[in-house]
Amino acid sequence: MTERIATLRRRAIDLGRATVPVTLFSAIPDARMLRAFAQAGVDRCLLTLRHGPNVIDTLDKWVELRSRVT
């Protein structure tokens, strides 16, 4: 993934364009994985929130997860 992101950004620069932000969809909500994605050049990760009775609990966990990653 790291090389693909670097290639994408080099191509954008070669074409005179600004840096291309990279978004990862349906990322795994794991601090180690999210840090690895960031080190690979991913600018933002989107998590998938499933509908159900535990939505608030899931969001609370993600808030805590974000504080461990950033």
**What confidence score (pLDDT) does residue 19 get?**
86
pTM: 0.81
- pLDDT-derived band at 18 (thresholds 50, 70, 90) equals confident
Domain for residue 31, yes or no? yes
Domain for residue 13, yes or no? no
Domain for residue 16, yes or no? no
| Residue 22 confidence (pLDDT) above 90 | yes
Boundaries of domain holding 31: 22-70
Q: Total domain count for the chain?
A: 1
| Residue 4 confidence (pLDDT) above 90 | yes
As a 3-state breakdown, the chain gives helix, strand, coil percent values, each rounded to 5, of: 55, 5, 40
Contacts of residue 33, defined as CB under 8 A and 6 or more positions apart, other chains included, come to 27
Domain for residue 54, yes or no? yes
Question: Are 26 and 46 within 8 A, CB to CB?
Answer: yes
Domain for residue 60, yes or no? yes
Domain for residue 28, yes or no? yes
C-alpha to C-alpha distance for 63 and 60, rounded to whole angstroms = 5
